Amino acid sequence: MKTSFRIYIVLAFLIYSCSSADKGYTWKTKEVMVSAYNSTKGQTDGQPNIAAWGDTLKPDQKSIAVSRDLIPLGFNYNTQVKIDGLEGIYLVKDKMHYRWRNKIDVYMGLDVQKARDWGRKKLKVQYRVKKDSIDNE
């Protein structure tokens, strides 16, 4: 009986902590152009696996690069992003060149064919931002 009670307490704590973790955040939706990129020398400047904020990208990592016009909207460093058609949550780890607007690049490691197969798509993405202190939903 003591073991089942402990399991109940742990589960209750986990459920509470997971639900309270989102209290200060909300998910917003934005339609953007989504393409893919790789960490190859031909596609990047300098060190191909070093992102704009200094992170070292790893091939199995779920990360994205964002056009700089999206950063003031909430696509900041390490922002969580859900992309239609892709499983899981991606983190903003890289910034794109200033010429790009309303665009996200999904990091696909060294798999150039996978990136080509993905192509370019206009998709809705969801991104997690802190709730505004004035706009308490």
- The pTM of the full predicted model, rounded to 2 decimals, is 0.77
State how many domains the chain has: 1
Model confidence band, residue 137 (pLDDT cutoffs 50, 70, 90):
very low
**CATH number where 49 lies:** 2.40.40.10
Burial class of residue 16, CB neighbours in 10 A (0-12, 13-18, 19+): exposed
Specify if 6 maps to a domain.
no
Specify if 96 maps to a domain.
yes
Q: Is the pLDDT of residue 92 over 60?
A: yes
With a pLDDT cut of 90, the percent of the chain lying above it is 63
Both tokens assigned to 21: 């973790």
Specify if 19 maps to a domain.
no
Specify if 90 maps to a domain.
yes
Q: What is the pLDDT of residues 26-68, one digit of tens each?
A: 999 999 999 999 988 777 767 878 888 888 999 889 999 999 9
The whole domain housing 43 covers: 24-130
Residue 3 pLDDT: 61
Specify if 11 maps to a domain.
no
Specify if 100 maps to a domain.
yes
Which residues have C-beta within 8 Å of that of residue 112, sequence separation ≥ 6? Answer: 38, 40
Burial class of residue 80, CB neighbours in 10 A (0-12, 13-18, 19+): middle
